[in-house]
């Protein structure tokens, strides 16, 4: 199963709405079940450096089917996944990336958000999932 372009655009719209409510300028990426980019939005004025981060957060969430912040906890020195961020062409292991699940609980993609604090990135990513 993969997320459709229409559904990906709905998630971006919901995440963008939350960004506007919080007065943030975000980059928002949606990948499908194979971690391929399906949709992307860079809000006016959002950091250019966060484009790559948002995409990598979405991919990381899909590659490991868990929130990127959870992976970050496991990738600290001495952790079970220490240095994992150097695999797969570079991963992001701090909050802002979440797996996307369908109504049956199957993972169909990932969302990644970057452009503010990691707490805000995570909040906006969660808001995007409300469009499901």
Phi, psi of 45 (to 5 degrees): 85, -5
Residue 1 has pLDDT above 90, yes or no: no
Residue 95 has pLDDT above 90, yes or no: yes
Q: Which residues of 92-121 are buried (b: 16+ CB within 10 A; e: fewer)?
A: bbbbbbbbbbeeeeebbbbbbbbbbebebb
pLDDT at 102: 95
pLDDT band of residue 48 (cuts 50, 70, 90) is very high
Q: pTM of the full predicted structure? A: 0.96
As a whole number, mean pLDDT of residues 80-97 equals: 93
Q: CA–CA separation, 5 vs 55, rounded Å?
A: 16
Among the residue ranges 8-22, 50-64, 72-86, the one predicted with the least confidence is 72-86
Residue 64 has pLDDT above 90, yes or no: yes
As a whole number, mean pLDDT of residues 83-106 equals: 94
pLDDT at 110: 98
As a whole number, mean pLDDT of residues 53-79 equals: 96
């Amino acid at each position: 199963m993969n997320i459709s372009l229409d559904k990906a655009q709905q998630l971006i719209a919901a995440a963008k709405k939350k960004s506007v409510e919080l007065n943030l300028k975000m980059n928002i990426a949606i990948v499908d079940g194979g971690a391929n980019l399906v949709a992307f939005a860079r809000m006016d004025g959002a950091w250019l450096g966060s484009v790559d981060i948002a995409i990598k957060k979405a991919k990381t969430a899909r590659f490991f089917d868990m929130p990127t912040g959870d992976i970050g906890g496991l990738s600290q020195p001495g952790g079970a996944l220490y240095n994992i961020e150097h695999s797969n062409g570079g991963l992001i292991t701090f909050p802002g990336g979440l797996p996307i699940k369908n109504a049956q609980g199957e993972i169909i993609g990932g969302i990644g958000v970057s452009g503010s604090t990691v707490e805000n990135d995570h909040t906006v990513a969660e808001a995007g999932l409300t469009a499901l």
